[in-house]
Structure 1
Amino acid sequence: MKIAMFTNTYLPHVGGVARSVQTLEEACRARGHEVRVIAPEFPGAEPSPHVLRVPAIQNFNGSDFCVRLPMPSLVRDFMEEFKPDLIHSHHPFLLGDAALREGWKMKVPVVFTHHTLYERYTHYVPLDSEAIKRMAIQLATDYCNLCSTVIAPSESIAALLFDRGVTAPIRTIPTGIDNGAFEHGVGSSFRKRARIRREAVVIGHVGRLAAEKNLKLLTEAVIPCLHERPDALFLLVGDGDAREGMLSRFAEEGLDDRVHAPGKLMGSDLSDAYAAMDCFAFASQTETQGIVLAEAMAAGNPVVALDGPGVREIVRDGENGYLLRADAGADLFCEALLRMISQPSKRRNLAASARLSAKTYDTTRCTEQMIACYSDLVTAQRRQEEADSTPWDRLIAGIEIEWELLAAKVSAVTAAVIETPATEARLD
């Protein structure tokens, strides 16, 4: 198959969606499929014949996100040359709109993965408000219903989409991880490079360091833990706007020498970092699927986390970690961390179960499910094809999708004022 993937975030951007796209495209390509990625320009991005970089505004509203500039002819020419059998969109706006336009004009299926709870990221938009959050929910819901199939990364997100009124077929397919790579990380090597004592107890965290990740609570939970255990150290892997604030807070407590923050890591460096940890701490409640949780578990790290979408599917309290109430405060989080690191035998049992849990998210298994989904859609599309699309057909399809996209945006604006079934639906 020839697969085109449209995404607003892509390497070298650090984040779950960028890594999900990379994992999926590499796995598909390894199985003999042709894959092209359409993504915004990003600082430090290396040229690739497989990637079309679209001009974009960098660091939108002070964030590390890019906003692509409208260049329809650039995308159109690229797609006409590639002639994909299927389009996979990873966002419901910006390049997501472009994905739908191309899919409708070329009469190929469009798959959309609902990676993100968009209403929890509206603080990146000027004039953030409850009305803007409702707009984000309605926009994503209407976008889903313009696609051939919607991929939910977890069962809790699939249930939420159904409650919000998504009528397009929904399949639950997690993002895969390379279990082998994380299972074989060399923790001793990382500790040596980072000058971390062999006998130190390492509490770890990996991810994009941004406000929506609930990092303030995580920081306030780790601080008393480090005070209580002089042999403990916090390994903070990742980068983002919240990084300096976190490090400053540790410094205020006189703990700057007990925190190791190497920034973003990739490849074997990341696998080694996971392997250097004794447990993993995670406080985010904006996940659709906690990819880093699966990675940490594959490396043998039991997890302490707050209950939330994408988290409850993998963290089982008392089995592979400790799953706290969603509203648990820093004190309860700290207590769970201390319980984890103070009971080595219990921690080893939790670690063994964590490794088994991670196998559910192995790339091979998840990619097979995704390719089966692709294949079903392409086969169905070919059965109903009657003839090659003419320029007139493409013009009509273009007018139709522009009308549908406009209607979706009007619906989103309306939702800013009046509650809709989509905005009334709530996560458990």
Structure 2
Amino acid sequence: MKLVIVSDAAPPQVNGVVRTLGELKRNLELMGHEVISITPDRFPTIPMPSYPEIRLALFPARRLARLIEEANPNAIHIATEGPLGLAARNYCVKRGLPFSTSFHTRFGEYLYARTGFPLSWSYAFLRWFHAKATSVMVATPSLQAELEARGFGKPVIWSRGVDTELFRPRPKLAGEHYLDLPRPVYLYVGRVAVEKNIEAFLDLDLPGSKMVVGDGPRLDVLRKHHPEVHFAGTLFGEELAKAYAAADCFVFPSKTDTFGLVLIEALASGTPVAAYPVQGPLDVIGDAPVGVLDKDLAAACRKALGIAPADCRAFAMNFSWEACTRQFLSNLALAEVADTAALMDEAQKAVCD
């Protein structure tokens, strides 16, 4: 099968969406499928207001249409609701081509946190965006139920995986210290942005050290306000995996994430999780003895220190990218998308005529 995936989130961005799509592409190709990625690097771009690390494609409609027509795919998946996603949606709807979508990010909540833009308006746009999709894929059952209640039809589950070879337990480096940080080391990994609620973690009164891995628009402000915190910047590959494994507790302060890929990366590394009892942690961890979910985040951090790393690792082994990829394929509604190439041929002939 030849598949086009359209996404406004792509390298050099570093986030769960980018990692998920990268692993999806890799596993689809291992299964013998051809994947064509349409991402911002193929277009003129401008920096996103208030978040310059993210580049937005500028007037992408014509070039995007040409790229899809050149690919002549069997299926089209639209991963994000940005300029590229919007252009791809409009292209497919206009030509009667089936497409699937996924709901990765709570843009409504993020926009509200940054600007005060009404949630009702954001969700009205998102309902419209996803309404024509053959399937809307979501990561967790609670998000599935929430979107159903918000009028998104019947979303389907597309879970996540983890690279258990890269993210694995390792000897605690340097004994009582890691990077000269007194233990216990409490770690956060992710975007350094207001919607991630990082201040709730950094303001906690905890023994030991706090470490933040990641970049984003709040980084300079938080560095200034919290000189006692070790800000490591963005880490990749082995360096990121070592940070996960060296920490004594992974802290997830976000209340807006739809899944939290970092949760299972930490658990695969043998590091227990402390988080709020909200969507994401509740879906991934629930009542499993690998993390502590508590409205008192400091109490959760202290209790999590007593969790056995082996239990965390065993739990994470239930997640695999291969299973995630097969679930994605089952959601494509293959009976409908199998005719996509033929429909595109008809559409191109009509344009030529």
TM-score of the two chains, using structure 2 as the length reference: 0.90
Q: Tell me the distance in 2 between the aligned counterparts of 1:177 and 1:72.
A: 34
Three-state SS of the structure 1 residue aligned to 2:105 is coil
More helix by share: 1
Does residue 185 of structure 2 align to residue 213 of structure 1? no
Instruction: Pick closer, same or farther for the CA change 1:71–1:247 going to 2, 3 Å.
Output: closer
**Is 2:102 aligned against 1:113?**
yes
2:72·2:341 contact (CA, 8 Å) conserved in 1? no
Match of 1:196 among 180, 198, 208: 180
Q: CA deviation at 1:390?
A: 4.2
1:6 positional shift: 1.0
2:276 and 2:170 map into 1 onto residues whose CA distance is 26
Give the whole-Å Cα distance in 2 for the aligned partners of 1:385 and 1:363.
27
After superposition, what is the alpha-carbon deviation per residue over 1:13-33, rounded to whole angstroms, capped at 9, x for unaligned?
A: 122222221121111122211
Structure 1 residue corresponding to 2:218, chosen from 230, 242, 267: 242
Q: 1:334 aligns with which of 288, 298, 305?
A: 298
**Displacement, 1:393?**
5.1
Flag the 1:340–1:386 CA change in 2: closer, same or farther, 3 A: closer
Aligned-partner SS, 1:147? coil
| Pair 1:22-2:38 in alignment | no
Q: CA deviation at 1:386?
A: 7.9
Mean alpha-carbon deviation: is it higher for 292-301 or for 66-75?
A: 66-75
1:37 maps onto 2:26 in alignment: no
2:74–2:337: 8 Å Cα contact kept in structure 1? no
| Structure 1 residue 379 corresponds to structure 2 residue 335 | yes
Q: 2:116 aligns to what? A: 129
The Cα offsets for residues 261-316 of structure 1, whole Å up to 9 and x where unpaired, read as: 22111111111111111111111011011110011111111111012222201223
Alignment correspondent of 1:174: 159
Question: Is the 1:201–1:233 contact (alpha carbons within 8 Å) kept by the matching residues of 2?
Answer: yes
Contact 1:212-1:284 at 8 Å conserved across structures:
yes
Q: 2:64 touches 2:88 (CA, 8 Å); kept in 1?
A: no
Question: Which runs of structure 2 are paired with 1:346-357 in the superposition (5 Å)?
Answer: 346-348=306-308, 351-357=309-315
Matched to 2:116, the amino acid is S
Note if contact 1:60-1:67 (Cα within 8 Å) is conserved in structure 2: no
On the 8 A contact 2:255/2:276 being kept in 1, the answer is yes
- Give the number of equivalent residue pairs: 351
Partner Cα separation in structure 2 for residue 100 and residue 313 of structure 1? 29
Q: Distance in 1 between matches of 2:112 and 2:174?
A: 39
Q: What code does the residue aligned with 1:315 have?
A: I
Tell me the alpha carbon deviations over residues 178-214 of structure 1, each in whole angstroms, 9 at most, x when there is no partner: 122102556538999x6336x8321111001100000
The unaligned stretches of length 5 or more in structure 2 are: none
Shift in Å, 1:124: 7.8
CA shift in 2, pair 1:154/1:207, >3 Å: same
| Alignment partners' CA distance in 2, 1:321 and 1:181 | 21
1:322-348 CA-to-partner distances (Å, cap 9, x unmatched) read: 1013xxxxxx3223323333xxxx322
Aligned to 1:282: 252
Give secondary structure in 2 for the equivalent of 1:92: coil
Note the alpha carbon deviations across 1:342-395, whole angstroms, 9 max, x for none: xxxx322xx333223323332111111112223xx2333446998741447569
CA contact (8 A) 1:314 1:357 kept: no
SS of residue paired to 1:208: coil
**Residue matched to 1:164:** 150
Following the alignment from structure 2 to structure 1, what is the Cα–Cα distance between the partners of residues 318 and 106?
Answer: 23
Residue number among 315, 338, 358 corresponding to 2:285 in the alignment? 315
Q: Check the 8 A contact 1:103/1:110 in 2, yes or no.
A: yes
CA contact (8 A) 1:186 1:271 kept: no
1:3: which partner in 2? Answer: 3
Cα distance in 2 for partners of 1:2, 1:181 equals 29
Residue 184 and residue 301 in structure 1: after superposition, are their counterparts in 2 closer, same or farther (change >3 A)? closer
Match of 1:154 in 2: 140
| Alpha-carbon contact 2:136-2:155 (below 8 Å) kept | yes
- TM-aligned CA distance change 1:190 to 1:247, over 3 Å: farther
RMSD value, Cα: 2.7
Aligned equivalents of 1:292, 1:179: Cα separation in 2: 13
Q: Conserved in 2, the CA contact under 8 Å of 1:215 and 1:283?
A: yes
Shift of 1:129: 3.2
Counterpart selection for 1:91 from 80, 105, 120: 80
Q: For the Cα contact (< 8 Å) 2:50–2:217, is it kept in 1?
A: no
Q: What is the CA-CA distance between 1:105 and the residue it aligns to?
A: 5.5
Unmatched tracts of structure 1, length 5 or more: 42-52, 326-331, 396-428
Aligned residue type for 1:99 = A
